[in-house]
Amino acid sequence: MKLEIKIIEKQLDVKYAGDFVKNISSGAIVLFEGVVREYNNGVKIKNIEYSAYELMAIKEIKKIINIALKKIINVEQVHAICIHHRIGKLQIGDTAVVIAVATEHRKEAFELASNIMDLIKKTVPIWKQESSEESAH
């Protein structure tokens, strides 16, 4: 299986992630793009700053991938995964995370991308600090 995991300080390239996983054996490519939204729980966001313990974050993402792969019945049909997470100060509309998954069939691609994202939010040492309109007062 082809794999790439990066923690990046510059703007994420969603097209690159899709191209990285694309191959002639895969019938499905799922591309998830997590974007900084304008409001969080009714509070207007100015920006978000992400920080990470990069080596530990990459190690944890590898563990997450292995956990998520164990839930896939036909794991040999998973061909490629690309995960990029941004750190630094992000503005509204910026991409914070990209997950691209290529599998033989769509069911596995959707499940894998969703499971990976859920676990990243729960366990990876990447922290976010939101600046909001309320915190500016």
Q: pLDDT tens for residues 111-128?
A: 999 999 999 999 999 999
**pLDDT, tens digit, for every residue of 78-115?**
999 999 999 999 999 999 999 999 999 999 999 999 99
- Report the chain's C-alpha Rg in angstroms: 16
Position 117 in a domain? yes
Position 70 in a domain? yes
Position 52 in a domain? yes
Q: Residue for token digits 């990209």?
A: 98
Position 127 in a domain? yes
Please say if the pLDDT value at position 20 is more than 80: yes
In the 8-state DSSP scheme, what is residue 27? S
CA atoms of 78 and 32, how far apart (whole Å): 16
Q: How many domains does the chain have?
A: 1
For residues 97-108, one letter each, b for 16 or more C-beta atoms within 10 angstroms of the residue's C-beta and e for the rest, the string is bbbbbbbbeeeb
Position 48 in a domain? yes
Average pLDDT over residues 66-81: 94
CA atoms of 91 and 122, how far apart (whole Å): 23
User: 10 is written with which tokens?
Assistant: 């510059």
Structural domain that includes position 9: 2-132
* CATH code (residue 48): 3.90.1170.40
Position 108 in a domain? yes
pLDDT above 90: percentage of residues in the chain: 93
Residue 135 pLDDT: 67
Position 137 in a domain? no
CA atoms of 93 and 57, how far apart (whole Å): 24
* Strands ordered across the beta sheet of 28-35: 2-8, 78-86, 95-103, 28-35
**Angle at Cα 70 formed by Cα 81 and Cα 65, nearest 5°?**
35
